[in-house]
Amino acid sequence: RVTLRWVWRAVYLGAIGSVGYLGYTIYLLRTPSEQLEADPAKKTLVILGTGWGAVSLLKNLDTENYNVIVISPRNYFLFTPLLPSCTTGTIEHRSIMEPIRNILRHKQATVKYYEAEATKVDYAKKVVYINDESEIKGDVMSTEVPFDMLVVGVGAENATFGIPGVREHSCFLKEVGDAQQIRKRIMDCVETASFKDQSPEERKRLLHMVVVGGGPTGVEFAGELQDFFEQDLKKWVPEIVDNFHVTLVEALPNVLPMFSKQLIDYTEKSFKEESITIRTKTMVKNVTDKTIEAEYTKPDGTKEKEIMPYGLLVWATGNALRPVVKDLMSQIPAQKDSRRGLAVNEYLVVNGTENVWAVGDCAIANYAPTAQVASQEGAFLARLFNSLAKTDTINKELASLSEAQAKAAGDQRTQIFDQIKTLQKSLRRVKQIGPFEYSHQGSLAYIGHDKAVADISWLSGNFASGGTITYWFWKSAYVNMCFSWRNRLLVCVDWVKSSLFGRDVSRE
Ligand code: FAD
Ligand code: NAI
């Protein structure tokens, strides 16, 4: 009985301790401490973007070493892996957004943030030109920001390959606004299809949801959309049951080219079971307000033209360069042969420059344009910049100690000599930062119907799996990767909410 009492006491104390710790953590999060002011003697480091690359850099950077300025039209970080879930309301978009102000306010030294788009980088003048693109504008809408060091992390825009009608008639899936637009349009198509006296052909067209691009974005969205139909729309709008249909169009012979053959086959089989049509070897050539014109390559190699009527078209065919990146590349002769982005060396320095670095989708470092790569690149740059700053400080200390040593004599001279040796040792350690090496943790994708596929790098081998257990792994991995505890909590609450009450089918 005495032992039991002690066990209970330990449990009580543990619980009180945990609650106290949680409370203290929340208090710290909500009460940022005073920050060091900008120091004109320090170098100005300008960071363009608030995405995976830039935020990972900011998170790991010792900001007291530089005057840091962040420029981005988006004043939040977006956890893109869960964005497809926002298109159907499985997750609310605010749950995967983290305000950049929160992130910056917790840094040791002040970081300036300007909500603006960088329109041009003048490499020779070391200046970034910025524009306020927001709705509300003040007297000053455009200005310039000088830099000593610049990190370009502006990501990429949607590739359309100049196909006519794509920009005008389709939805993309890159930003929060895109997901909101898709969510509205799904419900608009559903309600318009149910409009009185709608003809059967028009009803069929309106309920034909076409996704172009069989990469992970297209596949995940198609899976989410079919889930929405099966789990909610079918119940609340039964009159659409016979006509609602999802088609995934892909130019290559298969979807998910970056996954192993086994998982590609698994995904294609699952889609068939879920009644999602996959149209491979079908290249979209033209888009009008109601139809898609595509070219299908038959097994004998001949081509066949096809017209597909659609209600909703989601365009997910990968990345293209942003104009600001294109313009910067045109100023640097060493970038002449680079087509897909800023070519960088193994320290992520933009080739042909000394003080410009690039991270993420806008940089070409022989890795796929993924969040995983961008965030590892950002963390690497932070280590590099922290080390550069420490090197600078140590060099200054060494210079002053050498001066003092020249003037000193006897014991004092020996003491300074020892100090110099210690500093030289730490200088060697600090300088020992190797080139960037990407460590691939694997690829994960949700494919609908509570199934996911995973190609995981494990013990220097590869482990491929697909199904419901992988789906739970996908869920826990992504919750774990969310930016903050607030995001994690909100995402979990959204999952519980949508599975208990269903997704919201109202159109905002
Ligand atoms: P981004 O994260 O796109 O950030 C770019 C930033 O630059 C933004 O803040 C933007 O506002 C800002 N910006 C844009 N133009 C300018 C300008 N002119 N001046 C200043 N700032 C500017 N990858 C994975 O590894 N796993 C996944 O599961 C995964 N899922 C994804 C799901 C979706 C729907 C999408 C679209 C992508 C997904 N990705 C995933 C890819 C991943 O999101 C990108 O590779 C990653 O966002 C690239 O990071 P980045 O920092 O280069 O760019
Ligand atoms: P993607 O580049 O991976 O795939 C685009 C697909 O569209 C290609 O397969 C291409 O053949 C096809 N396509 C291009 N033009 C076409 C046309 N005219 N008609 C028909 N098909 C056409 O693009 P996605 O999916 O947007 O991904 C971009 C990047 O983000 C990738 O690097 C991807 O790995 C990453 N990402 C990763 C995710 C994950 O790991 N779960 C999720 C989403 C994106």
Amino acid identity, residue 54? A
Identify the helix (H) or strand (E) that includes residue 301: none
Going along the chain from its start, the domains and CATH numbers come out as 32-156+321-388 (3.50.50.100), 166-319+439-501 (3.50.50.100)
Its pTM stands at 0.94
Q: Which percentage of the chain shows pLDDT scores above 70? A: 100
Decide whether any atom of ligand 2 lies within 6 Å of the 226 Cβ: no
pLDDT of residue 462: 83
| Span from the CA of 96 to the centroid of ligand 2 (angstroms) | 21
Beta strands in 332-485 (DSSP E): 342-343, 356-358, 363-364, 442-448, 451-458, 461-467
ipTM of the predicted structure? 0.98
Q: Which range (69-83, 239-253, 292-306, 382-396) has the least confidence?
A: 382-396
Most confident of 38-42, 243-247, 393-397, 440-444: 243-247
Residues 162-198 have pLDDT tens digits of: 999 999 999 999 999 999 999 999 999 999 999 999 9
Q: Output the residue whose Cα is nearest ligand 2's atom 38.
A: 216
- Ligand 2 in contact with 257 (CB < 6 A)? yes
Which atom of ligand 2 is closest in space to residue 213's alpha carbon? 7
Closest CA to 68 of 350, 361, 382: 382
Q: What is the pLDDT of residue 429?
A: 78
Tell me if 151 CB under 6 Å of ligand 2: no
Mutate to test the pocket of ligand 2, among 370, 440, 444 (most ligand atoms within 8 A of CB): 370
What would the pLDDT profile of 340-394 be if each residue is shown by its tens digit? 999 999 999 999 999 999 999 999 988 999 999 999 999 999 999 999 999 988 9
Contact in structure between 506 and 236 (CB atoms under 8 Å):
no
Dist CA 338 CA 301 (whole Å):
32
Residue (of 447, 467, 440) closest to 217 by Cα position: 447
Across 97-111, 373-387, 408-422, least confident range:
408-422
- Going by pLDDT thresholds of 50, 70 and 90, the confidence category of residue 26 is confident
Q: pLDDT tens for residues 306-351?
A: 999 999 999 999 999 999 999 999 999 999 999 999 999 999 999 9
CA of 210 to the centre of ligand 2 (A): 15
Instruction: Work out the mean pLDDT of the chain and round it to a whole number.
Output: 95
C-beta separation of 179 from 284 below 8 A: no
Strand extents, DSSP E, 213-368? 245-249, 277-279, 282-287, 291-297, 303-309, 312-315, 319-320, 342-343, 356-358, 363-364
Closest by CA to 64, choosing from 389, 380, 432, is 389
Structure confidence at residue 35 (pLDDT): 93
CA dist 63 and 394 (Å) reads: 17
- Residue 406, judged by CB atoms within 10 A of its CB (0-12, 13-18, 19+), counts as exposed
CA distances from 30 to 17, 26, 33, 55, 118 (A): 20, 6, 10, 20, 31
Alpha carbon distance 181, 173 (integer Å): 9
| pLDDT of amino acid 3 | 83
